[in-house]
Amino acid sequence: AQKVTQAQTEISVVEKEDVTLDCVYETRDTTYYLFWYKQPPSGELVFLIRRNSFDEQNEISGRYSWNFQKSTSSFNFTITASQVVDSAVYFCALSEALRVSNYQLIWGAGTKLIIKP
Amino acid sequence: KAGVTQTPRYLIKTRGQQVTLSCSPISGHRSVSWYQQTPGQGLQFLFEYFSETQRNKGNFPGRFSGRQFSNSRSEMNVSTLELGDSALYLCASSLLTGGSYNEQFFGPGTRLTVL
């Protein structure tokens, strides 16, 4: 069965601290995609990154970085030098289907990140 | 390019009523997916439409239905509303070309409150 676990329900840090959001997934497929989305208070989900199962290279985008490790089935997200605007709920998601005719996202429960000034 | 739009943004209904939510995908996107988000259950996939056909359906009762029009706009309908249907309903569109995965772009959602 497919499953995404975000064990951290809520994280609160002071601005400029680094923070890591954990994501652990389960799947029997050898080919799959992993995602991170951000949901600010406005409600709209904002796409952050997509990673396919064959690419284990870490990725850095400004203050954001992602660590994908197939050995531990984890896809963790780190924000460096956090800012108040980073406050949001962050979701990790998994997609197994490759065929055009069938896909959906399996979502983690989300981690609420609070950045205090 | 305009993003995904959803109407209405907020809706209040009473138990037993029915409701129709609308989603207009990004121009050129042919796949539309619907999700329900609640504090208790989180984000759950409802269904996906492509070229006016429902291709995938989540684990929701038959009270939840949808359709897609030839211009890719989609509607979802919930009949005989229950208190537990109170949620944020999110629509996402995707280009879906060539068989490879294309990211989904989400709309702002419709917040439905059932009294």
Residue A10 Cα, gap to closest chain B Cα (Å): 13
One digit per residue, the tens of pLDDT, for chain B of length 115 reads 679 999 999 999 999 999 999 999 999 998 899 999 998 888 898 999 988 999 888 889 999 999 999 999 999 999 999 999 999 999 999 886 554 566 788 999 999 999 9
- HEC states along chain A? CCEEECCCCEEEEECCCCEEECCEEECCCCCCEEEEEEECCCCCCEEEEEEECCCCCCEEECCEEEEEEHHHCEEEEEECCCCHHHCEEEEEEEECCCCCCCCCCEECCCEEEEEEC
pLDDT attached to residue B100: 53
pLDDT attached to residue A33: 87
B99 and A100 within 8 Å at the Cβ level: the answer is yes
pLDDT attached to residue A115: 97
Which chain A residue is nearest to residue B101, measuring alpha carbons?
A: A98
Q: What is the pLDDT of residues A53-72, one digit of tens each?
A: 888 888 888 999 999 999 99
B101 and A98 within 8 Å at the Cβ level: the answer is yes
Which chain A residue is nearest to residue B90, measuring alpha carbons?
A: A44
B88 and A43 within 8 Å at the Cβ level: the answer is yes
Residue B74 Cα, gap to closest chain A Cα (Å): 17
Q: Which residues of A are less than 8 Å from B106 in CB distance?
A: 37, 44-47
Q: Determine the Cα–Cα distance for residues A65 and B29; give it in Å rounded to an integer.
A: 29
pLDDT attached to residue A42: 83
pLDDT attached to residue A113: 98
